Structure 1
Amino acid sequence: MTKYPYRLIIKFYWFRLLVVSIIWFIYDFLTYSFSIYSSSWIYLILGDDYPLWVSLGWTTLINFFYLPGYFIGAFMSDWIGPKYALVAGVTAQGIIGFIMTGLYAYLDTPAHVVGFVVVYGIFLAVGEVGPGDNIGLVASKTCATAIRGQYYGIAAAMGKIGAFVDKNIQYPFYVSSSLCFLSAAIALFLLPNIGQDTIEEEDIRFREYLEQNGYDTTTMGSKEYREAAVIENEAKGAHGGDRKHVE
């Protein structure tokens, strides 16, 4: 049975995994909190003078803004790449959040509930344009295929911890906006750019690292693939070609 090189994996990927986990943590921390308490904010703005169905209607409209965010984010991810789509989304979310902070005294009235719902909805939508659509993609494409399950699972678990770190109070929008900018900076400066060939390049980079540290990479992959790769390596070696590294 092949021994899994946990020490080498941690040494190679710990920092990148930490970066992805922090971004996912911040995203879930903001998204779950704002989603859960959107109805409470609407109720506080409208007060007891309005029936429950009015508050429910405005809350439903707020949640509707998630949908265009999902669609726009999907296309942006293809146009400019997951990393920059994520950065653009959280940066826009931070800007809108600070705008809401400045106008909150004006928006926090029954007469201007429409303005609050629209601005708040846009705030949520651009969050989906950024990490909502792209954080999972970033997590799945910034590591080698051989460890993708563990890498993705740890990052996702950290995100869910962010969803539960909630003290049951209304967080000021300026705090959330600051976290958005922090997330954007982390993604922009600490994540690699992601393209169509990122997974193949990452597999090669990780495999070469393992070989340089004495790990036998011929034990990686399915039995059929290993046998075919060994035959190909021998054939290339006989002709003076480069030997193929086996995944």
Structure 2
Amino acid sequence: MNMLIFGYTSDHYSRKWSLFASTVILIAFAALSAGSYGAGGSSSGLFAALTAWRFLLGIGIGGEYPAGSVGCAESTGELKSGTRNRWFILFTNVQIDIGFVVSALVPMIVVLITGENHLRAAWRICLGLGVIPPLSLLYLRLKLNEPEAYRRETMAKAKTPWLLVIKFYWWRLTIVSLIWFIYDFSGYSFSLFSSTIVDNLLGDNSPLWKSFGWTTLIYLFYLPGCIGGSFVSDWLGPKMTLGIGVLAQGIVGFIMAGVYSYLAHPQNVAGFVIVYGVFLALGEFGPGDNIGLIASKSCATAVRGQYYGIAAAIGKIGAFVGDQVLAILYNRYKDTDPIKAGQYPFFVSSALCILSAGIAFFLLPHIGQDTIDEEDVKFRAYLAENGYDVSQMGVQRESAEHIVGQTEVEGGNEVTEKVSKA
């Protein structure tokens, strides 16, 4: 819901102010989450308050996706050709993956400081620290300018021809959304599931900080995958990079499922973490880096926020479905056959990775360095051919003419004054 709302506002109002609004929401509800309190000190009231604040916090997080990513994609058009994909990825997916690492590292440090007898303080500290990153960006986002492509192509002051938009983009949006659904099905659900797997390998008596420590190490594997993928995306293109990465991930996943009986022992936890880390790194190398880039660049600027928001929202549905499905598989066998409990989620995820690779290779469009400008030209031509008045698009001419006229008047007055003095 939040991605759809902010996708709409980023197209019809402003990229800048949509992003600024999401930042304010993040700051406010991260702080309220840390200060959650139940009436009369009740635990049920505490969890009700925490659930409400975290729900509203999620709206702010979702707003970052369409408003931030599409603005970033449009801004890369002003950079040197041949480097645009990597800069987009370095400022989007790489930052998300660094966030995953920090999300496990910070609790580990806090729990080591407070001890497991003071977890009441530890969780509030961890949630409270979440205020710092968006707060540090607030001033910068206030000074942010709208991308040139948005100023040139926006339909903010015009009626959007939805039937034409759907006819032009429905198939491409379906393919992008399907790949994002599959990626989040395995990527996000496994990231949530990893702590459960690690706890199972370490045993019930392992200290909490150790579980966070191994989870941090697992998340660190994201970084070589996403950073390496950012450069390969410029060399091979997002389509090929995504397909190669997710195909390799599927192969590694099947191998991991096959040898899981050897890895599923506490003495082999290091081997498990390495193989599992490679599995996750390949996911970031391929779809993690490139699905957001493709969603940002495979449609016209005028509807980019909504297009991206729909694809991202379907991806998050995939994360929810994947979390439920993998949990059902794991819980069904964890007491009777722990090996199957670990194997089956990898079999399911790996099969979907292979499917995703096939879709990427054969159905995704080519994304080049100048795709944003090329897509805008194609979309304008399509609208004009179908009777839409494309002169409505972009920053309103009246505003520009007013500014130019005002400048000419001021310049004329200055000349008159100089002539009079002479």
- The alignment's TM-score, normalised by the length of structure 2, stands at 0.51
User: In the TM superposition, what is the alpha-carbon distance from 1:225 to its structure 2 partner?
Assistant: 9.7
Q: Does 1:76 align with 2:232?
A: yes
Following TM superposition, by how much is the alpha carbon of 1:47 offset from its aligned partner in structure 2, in angstroms? 2.1
**How far 1:113 moved relative to its partner?**
1.3
Partner of 1:192: 365
Query: Over aligned residues, Cα RMSD in angstroms?
Result: 2.0
Match of 1:97 among 253, 263, 274: 253
1:42 maps to amino acid: V
In the alignment, does 2:194 pair up with 1:38?
Answer: yes
Q: State the match for 1:221 in structure 2.
A: 394
Larger Rg: 2
Considering Cα pairs closer than 8 Å and 6+ residues apart, tell me whether 1 or 2 has the greater RCO. 1
- For the Cα contact (< 8 Å) 1:218–1:226, is it kept in 2? no
Instruction: Give the structure 1 partner of residue 380 of structure 2.
Output: 207
1:209 alignment partner AA = Y
Measured in 2, the distance between the counterparts of 1:56 and 1:136 equals 28
Q: 1:225–1:145: structure 2 CA closer, same or farther, 3 Å change rule?
A: farther
2:353 to 173, 180, 188: 180
**Hey, what does 1:238 align to over in structure 2?**
none
User: CA 1:225–1:10 in structure 2 vs 1: closer, same or farther (change >3 Å)?
Assistant: farther
Distance 2:195 2:400 in 1: 59
Post-superposition offset of 1:224: 3.3
Distance change in 2, residues 1:225/1:139 (3 Å):
farther
- In the alignment, which residue of structure 2 is the partner of 1:244? none
- Cα distance in 1 for residues equivalent to 2:247 and 2:361: 11
Give the TM-score of the pair, scaled to structure 1.
0.86
The whole-number CA distance in structure 2 between the counterparts of 1:227 and 1:8 is: 28
Structure 1, gaps ≥5 residues long: 229-247
Q: Which of residues 168, 175, 190 in structure 2 aligns to 1:12?
A: 168
Task: Note the C-alpha offset of 1:180.
Answer: 0.7
Shift of 1:10: 0.4
- Take 1:54 and 1:140, find their aligned partners in 2: how far apart are those partners? 39
Q: 1:57 to 1:227 in 2, by over 3 A?
A: closer
Deviates more, 1:123-132 or 1:201-210: 201-210
Give the gaps of 5 or more residues in structure 2: 1-156, 331-343, 402-422
- Matched-pair identity in %: 65
Contact 1:220 1:226 in 2 (8 A): no
* In 1: Cα distance, 2:253 partner to 2:346 partner: 6
Count of matched residue positions in the alignment of Structure 1 and Structure 2: 228
Residue of structure 1 equivalent to 2:278: 122
**What is the match of residue 177 of structure 2?**
21
In 1, distance between residues paired with 2:216 and 2:395?
Answer: 49
Offset from partner CA, 1:72-128 (integer Å, 9 cap, x none): 111111111111111111111101101101101111112221111000001111111
User: Structure 2 CA distance, aligned partners of 1:56 and 1:196?
Assistant: 40
Q: Quote how far apart the aligned CAs of 1:53 are.
A: 3.6
Alignment of 1:136 onto 2:292: yes
